[in-house]
Amino acid sequence: MGMIGVETAMAQHTITVYDTDRQPSVSTPEDMARLAGRVFPLSERIAGGNGEAFDLGEWFVNWRAQRGIAAEAPLPTHMKVEAADTFEALIPWEQLKEAAVLFALNGAPLAKGGPARLYVPNGTSECLNVKRAVVWRFLQDEEKRGEVSYGFKQTFTADEMRSKR
């Protein structure tokens, strides 16, 4: 199983973007929005939505290009999103076509639900809309193609337990 990930450090409001064979890079949700190339009102995708968002797919294409990954490289089969409160969602790539990432409200970083909030308007469950998204993992796992799961994390590594103190 191949993996590309995005981790967020809440205190610094930075996001460390990495894949398995390259050095990590650090950015902010605002830098990610600039890399996506287009910011739009969340209400364009989510009825009654407030704030500024960017398209996950546009960001992903530009992020891969920035990292030197060929446009014809296989797309992930899933995105796994982990929230600061240990909620997790495994989302099939096909359901992310209209996904939006909320990153600002009235031009300011998110005070609630941040540093970023993922909205999946074509998802099979509203539970795929993850607030306080602090870890994003783009997975390549053909055996789980189409699989959806969500809920609170039940298993923690020793390092995760030490960091929760």
Quickly list H helices, 5-55.
29-36
Q: Which two tokens stand for residue 87?
A: 């909620």
Residues contacting residue 6 through CB under 8 Å, at least 6 positions apart: 15, 16, 17, 18, 135, 136, 137
- Does pTM top 0.85 for this prediction? no
Q: Is residue 115's pLDDT more than 70?
A: yes
**More confident: 24 or 75:** 75
pLDDT above 90 covers what percent of the chain? Answer: 47
